Structure formats: C-alpha cells, structure tokens
Chain A
Amino acid sequence: MSFQQADNAPEADFSTRSFLVVDDFQGMRTILRDILRNCGANAKNIATAANGSEAVAQLAATQFDVVLCDFNLGKGKNGQQVLEEAKVRQLVGPACAWIMVTAEKTSDAVSGAAEYQPDAYLLKPITEATLRLRLAKIWAKKMAFAEIDRAVRQGNIAAALACCDERLRTDKANANDLLRTKCDLLLASGDLARARQAFETILAHRDVPWAKAGLARVLMQGGDYAGARTVLEETLAVNAAYLEAHDLMAKTLQAMGDLEAASAAIERAVRISPNSATRQKNLGEVALRLGKTDAAEKAFRRSVTLGEHSILKTADAYLGLAKACTANDRPEEALRALDQVDKTFDDETVRMQSLAVEGMVHHKAGNAGKAKEIAKKLAQTAAASPGETQLTLDTARLLLATGARDEAVALLQGEVRNAPENAALLGEVKDIFSAAAMADEGAALVETSRKDAMEQMNRGVLLAREGRHDEAIAAMRAAREAMPRNVRVLFNLTHVIVAKLQQDGGADPVLIEEARGSLAAAHALAPGEARYATLKASLDTLAGVR
C-alpha cells in the first residue's frame, strides 16, 4: 500500500535535480530561479539561457533533469524549436522533464508533433504551487512509463501492451495517458481491430476528442476514408477548433482525391494555428495542385520563414516556392530558392529534385537547350533511384515538357503500378499529363496501368484460393518483379507463401525467408498496415515452435 502511494505521488524532490531556465527576459529568469529555489532547488544547480542558441549550447554541454522553457524567445528559435533540436540531437533523454511556458493559450504554442511535445505546458504566471504539483505529476508519469518505454525501444510491442494493461488496473492518476499509449501502440503495430475496439470502448463511455480522432485514424489506415470523414465531421461539430481533427480531415480528403475540400480543411487549420511550417507547406502544395499559384507562393514563403531556425526544416517548402515562382513567371526568384536548397540541404535526392525543378524553370523561360540537358541527366538517375515518388514525378514532368514522352510515360506508369489504389497519386499523375496537353491519353494510360496492376495484385490470391499454391507464388513473384514497391503485392506474396506452408505443414526455411523479406519491404513502405501484424504472427508460428 505504501509502495502504491509512493508510485502514484512521489515526493517532488527538487534538491538533487538540475534545472535549465530559458527566457529572453532577465526579470523572468530571476523570478523562475527564485520559484525553483523556494521549491527546494539548489541554486548552483540552476542554469539559465537568454535565447534559443544559448539554450541549445547549454543542453549540449549538460544533462539537465528539468528544462523550464518559454515558448516565445524573441528573435531566432522559439521554445518549440529548441525542444525539437534537443530531441533530434539527443541532447535530452526520456528522463528529462520539459515544461513549456506560454503567455496565453493558443494552438500555435501547443501544436508540435507528438514526438516533439513537451511534458507539460504551463500558463503564466507560474507559481510555486503549480510548478511543484506539475513536476510531481511528470515525475510520477515518467516512473509509470519507464518500463513501457523500454519495451517500445526494444521493439517488443506485446510486452509494452501487457505493461499498459497491468498499470491500468491500479494507476488511476495516469489512466488517461496509459490508455492513449495503449491505443497508439495498437495503431502503430497495425492491429486495427483491437485499436478500433479500444477506441470504441472509450467512446461508449464518454465523448473523448482524442479517442474520436483515434477512431478516424483507424478508419483511414483501413482505407475507409468516407467513414473517417464522418467521424471527423462529428468531432468538429462539437469542437470546431480541434486542430488534430482538421489535419486528419485534410489528409482524408486528399486521400479521397478531393483537393478543393482538402484545401479548405488546411485553411481552417491554418487559421487556428498560422505558425506551423509543415501546415503552410501542405497548404502551398494543395494550392499549387489547384492552380492557385499566388496563394501557393505565399504559403511556401511563409513555410520557409517559419522553418528558418528549425532543425526539422525540409527542402519541400523551398522546392514548392521555386515551383510556385516558376508558375508565376518569376524565374529569377525560383532559381534563388533552388540555390538556397542546394546550400541548405546536403542530400542527393533533394539535389536531384532541385535539378528537376530547375529544368522546368528553364523550360518555362524558353531556354529549351538547358531544360533538355537537365532532363537527359535526370532520366538516367531517376530510373536508377526508385522509391522517390516526388522526384520521379518531377522528372517525368520535365521529360514530358522537353519532349521525351516515352521515358516520362514509363516513369509515370511505374508509379501508378506501385500504388494503383492511391487516389491522390493517380490525380497528380493525370494532372502532369494534362499540363503537357495529354489529358485524354494520360487518363487512358493511368487507367490501363491501374487495371493491369490490380489484376496482377490479385492473381496470386485467387490461385491460392483454388489451392494452386505453386502457381500463386510464381504469379506473385512475377508481380513483385514488375512492381517492386507495390505494398499489396508484397503482402500478397507473403500471404500466398504462408498459405502454401500452412497447407503443406512444412517449414521450408528458404520460403519463410522470402516471405519475411517481402513482408519487411511492405512494412517499410507502409508502416502500420493491418495485415502486417497478422502475417508476421503466421510466419512466426510457421517458423517457430510447432
């Protein structure tokens, strides 16, 4: 009993812990330092930093137990960007308690991605009582999650889930977080049926926004986009400013190929939280697809500015800006953006993408020779570096523009065959054909490739159902050869091998290895697919103690 007590509410011991206070106002740093000392912290264990760079330098030099960081740090990095950098560079471990201090409650301050969220947000003014209680809660939570986190790090999801269930029986204070973690684990491992059941159990009891969003995620992962949209509409009707629901809605609509509606959903999210580099980039990409080139340029510019000090910045915003500037007949600005890409990002794929966009700039500016030269160079590398869809699409666009029709068609058909059920991709490919004045021909090509791929994807499964296992495996092997990145083909190859082994009752190690390889490739391409968990379990049974 006394152990249980200690487990749930550990004494908030400040005296042995080290603290970092980050605030751009000297006065505020002094106040926070005084509060910490009143809570029992040792003065020589309290370090301070006046801006983001100073904070990062301090974090790199010392392992802090607690970081109290203001969100708004004036010029340079904001608090969220400091946290992101600390996590990405592993300057803080899972034991570090990070508290983000904000002046007011806005979605901007509280909308980091899940893996980059602080342990708590505290609204100013901060008092001794709130800080003490909050830290005690965080420390209790870290203790409750230590074992679960360890299991997750070791990749043992089953153990982590068992641990969640065991804790849920006694730990009332962390019940919500434990339940959320359990659901997230089920979703991440692709166990959609159990995830759905878990969310529905919660929702049968209470309308909990995160469980609603979770249910939408389950439906999205299972491909039921219409169902997901309905759930999200219900959520937003009650809580119109629920950012995660808007983001999921945008994704759902994009997956359904409804770009107009997706754009409206992103715009609503941007109104709630205007300062997210990722969301502005997404807005720019959809606007560009819809031909709203001015809006796209504005969004991309905003994204570039917002991400300037972020360690998580991507080349996409810069590339998007270059495309938008090209569309808006400002080639010099497009080239400037591309120049920035080359200087900022040291990545081969990004360099290729930048080159593809540069080719389009020259093409649009009437410099046909230069565009052709770049197209030729890219055509060779694009065929050699599969798996980079955006690069392939950009290359195909340039090839079409410069008259290399056959090469472009081959590349685009390859993409369609690898993801024939991806409505968003099919739409984009059709748009690329349309832009090259090949709308009808392009649509027909897309349809042929799609049909052909669907047929090949299912052939093996149909043969297996008739008991023709060897033919089924041969068919799926051929399909994999033709469509190496088609997730359903990879799953189906695994499936037909499993079916054969189950019928034969033998554990042919070569076949099991082949099935494992195919399954791993599918999982790498589409993590969190429902079939992964079941097929993996079947393979383990076949290979293991039987």
Chain B
Amino acid sequence: MSKPLAPAFPSVDMATFLASSAHDMKNSISLLIRGLEGILGTVDATSFAAYDDLAQMTYEAKRVNSNLIQLLTLYKIGQDIYPFDPQPVALGDFIDIIAAQSGELLKSQGVALEHACEPDLYWDFDEDLVTGIIGNAFNNAIHYTRDRVRLSAARVDGQLELRIEDNGGGYPRHMLDECADCMRGVDFAAGSTGLGLYFSAIVARMHRQRERCGEIRLENGGALGGGCFILRLP
C-alpha cells in the first residue's frame, strides 16, 4: 500500500469541465422548458388553478437557461472560439421581434412594454449577443419598474443607442456603481458583479470600430422617469 493517493483534484482544466457541465445542464433545462410550455399550451388559463404558478416556473426555467447560455458564451469568448458575427441589422425588425417575444413575458409580470425606433435605421452588430444584452436589461427592469418599460433605438453621436427605460424608482446606487465598474474592467471574480451586467459589458466591448468600442451605462431619469439601461455601439 505504498502507492500514493491520487490528488483530490485531478489536474483537469476546470473551466472546460464547468463549461461542458453547463452545456449538459442547458440541454436538460431546454427539455424542461419545452415540457412546461407544452402543458401551458394545453390548459386554459382561467380554469386551471395552478396556471400562474406554472407560468412562474417557466419564467424561472427560462432565466436559468439564458444564464447558462451567457456563461457558455463567455467561456467561448474567453477561449477565442465564439463565432462573433457582426452583420447589418434592421433595427425596426430587431425591436419588433424582441417586443413580440418579451412582451408576453413582461405582461405576465404586470408590465406594459412600449417600443420605438428611428425609421430606416441599420447597424452592424452580433444580433444574438445583443439580444442577450436586451434580455438581461428586461430582467433588471422587471425588478425595478412600476408598470411600464420602454425599448427604443436611435442614432446618437454617430453611434447606435439602445435604451431600456422604466417608470420605477430608479436603480439603487450599488447597481449604478457596479455597472460603472464593469465598464472599467473590474475583475469579475473579485467583485460582486452579477452575470448579466458582466456579460453585457464584455459583449458591448467586443463591438469595436477603430478606436471606439461599445459600452453600457445605467442612469436614472430618462423618458419614463425611472431607471434606464443604455447600450451604445460604434
């Protein structure tokens, strides 16, 4: 029995191990969501007592799913294997689609979504990544708004500006600081930064034109007088 014990932690690449586990979990969650949506589609909202609970469960499952997708995306970006693909996007269509998809979700949380877009606006960006950012911003807005959220796109100072605004009491101080830290490039592991903001900051910075790169900002005020999440892309 002179053989030494194997180390408790075999020398596997931990990041890869976590990523492949996240991948596996994502597949299970997808099946779960598919099942839940299947049930939701077959029952009647007014006569089925647990309808609201089921809808809430679906919402939570989707949140976990999108978190896992963001984790995996961050992993791929870190490994330089994410197929970053900026393409010209028609902002009108982009906003319409997001409104159609998220509108239902926001309504179920008692929030009305309005949207606006400067006409004939096209911009180059990675549609999937930016959709992820907007999803995060909606999740935040749901927490802080009273009952309205507004999504808009416009050209400002030669950049694309996407705004998600609400009519709540505004973002708390720590959120505003956290966001500023994110853009300054504070170490994720050291701080208390949430996944959503970190993801958004990284993705915004990936969008570069010459010496300019994208940024995210949180402010209070805006069109609805509450919190505003602002994404600017060069």
A107's partner among B34, B69, B73, B81 (CB-CB below 8 A) is B81
Partner of B120, one of A107, A137, A172, A241: A172
Check: A238 CB closer than 8 A to any chain B CB.
Answer: yes
Q: Which residues of B contact A107 (CB under 8 A)?
A: 81, 83
A242 at the interface (CB under 8 A from B): yes
CA distance A31 to B40 in the complex (A): 13
| Chain B: minimal CB distance from A359 (Å) | 41
Give the docked Cα–Cα distance between A127 and B131 (Å): 14
Number of residue pairs A-B, CB distance < 8 angstroms: 65
- The one of B76, B87, B100, B208 in contact with A207, judged by C-beta atoms closer than 8 angstroms, is B208
Q: Does B84 contact A (CB under 8 A)?
A: yes
- Is residue B101 contacting chain A, with contact meaning CB distance below 8 A? yes
The 8 A CB mask of B181-211 against A (1 = contact, 0 = none) is: 0000000000000000000000000001110
- Does A272 lie within 8 Å of B83, measured CB to CB? yes
Q: Are A206 and B97 in contact (CB under 8 A)?
A: no
Across the interface, name the chain A residue whose C-beta is closest to B99: A129
Any chain B CB within 8 A of the CB of A106?
yes
* Chain A residue nearest to B77 in the complex (CB): A241
CB distance from A485 to the nearest CB of B (A): 39
A-contact 0/1 string along B85-109, CB 8 Å cutoff: 1111010010011001100000000
Instruction: Mark interface residues in A130-141 (1 if CB within 8 Å of B CB, else 0).
Output: 100100010000
Interface residues on B, range: 20 to 34
Decide if A104 touches B69 in the complex (CB within 8 Å): yes
Residues of chain B with a CB closer than 8 A to A124's CB:
30
* Contact of B144 with A by CB under 8 A: no
A105 to B69, CA, bound (A): 10
Which residues from B are CB-within-8-Å of A241? 76, 80-84
* CB nearest neighbor in A for B209: A207
Interchain CB contact under 8 A, B84 and A27: no
Contact A123 B208 (CB under 8 A): no
Q: How far is the CA of A242 from the CA of B86 in the complex (A)?
A: 11
Q: Are B101 and A127 within 8 A (Cβ)?
A: yes
- Closest Cβ of chain B to A127, distance in Å, is 6
List of A residues within 8 angstroms of B82 by Cβ: 105, 241
Contacts of A538 in B (CB 8 A): none
Residue tally, chain A, CB below 8 Å to B: 32
Question: Does B122 reach chain A (CB closer than 8 Å)?
Answer: yes
Q: Does A444 contact B (CB under 8 A)?
A: no
The digit string for A176-209, where 1 denotes a CB below 8 A from any CB of B, is 1000000000000000000000000000001111
A105 close to B81 (CB less than 8 A)? no
Taking CB atoms, residues of chain B closer than 8 Å to A172 are: 120, 122
Question: Which residues 24-43 of B have a CB within 8 angstroms of A?
Answer: 26-27, 30, 33-34, 38
Does A89 lie at the interface of the complex (its beta carbon under 8 Å from any beta carbon of B)? no
Find the residue from B83, B87, B128, B210 having the highest chain A CB count within 10 A.
Answer: B83
In the assembled complex, the Cα of A172 lies from the Cα of B209 at a distance in Å of: 21
Across the interface, A271 reaches (CB within 8 A) one of B81, B122, B208, namely B81
Q: Which residues of B contact A27 (CB under 8 A)?
A: 34, 38
Given contacts A238-B208, A241-B80, contact A175 B88 (CB under 8 A): yes
Within B57-87, the residues touching A (CB, 8 Å) are: 69, 72-73, 76, 80-87
B90 near A173 (CB under 8 angstroms)? yes
Give 15 pairs: A residue, B residue, CB < 8 Å, sorted on A: A103-B27, A107-B81, A110-B83, A125-B30, A125-B34, A129-B97, A129-B100, A175-B88, A176-B87, A206-B124, A207-B210, A208-B124, A240-B80, A241-B82, A272-B80
Give residues in B with beta carbon < 8 Å to A: 26-27, 30, 33-34, 38, 69, 72-73, 76, 80-88, 90, 93, 96-97, 100-101, 120, 122, 124, 128, 208-210
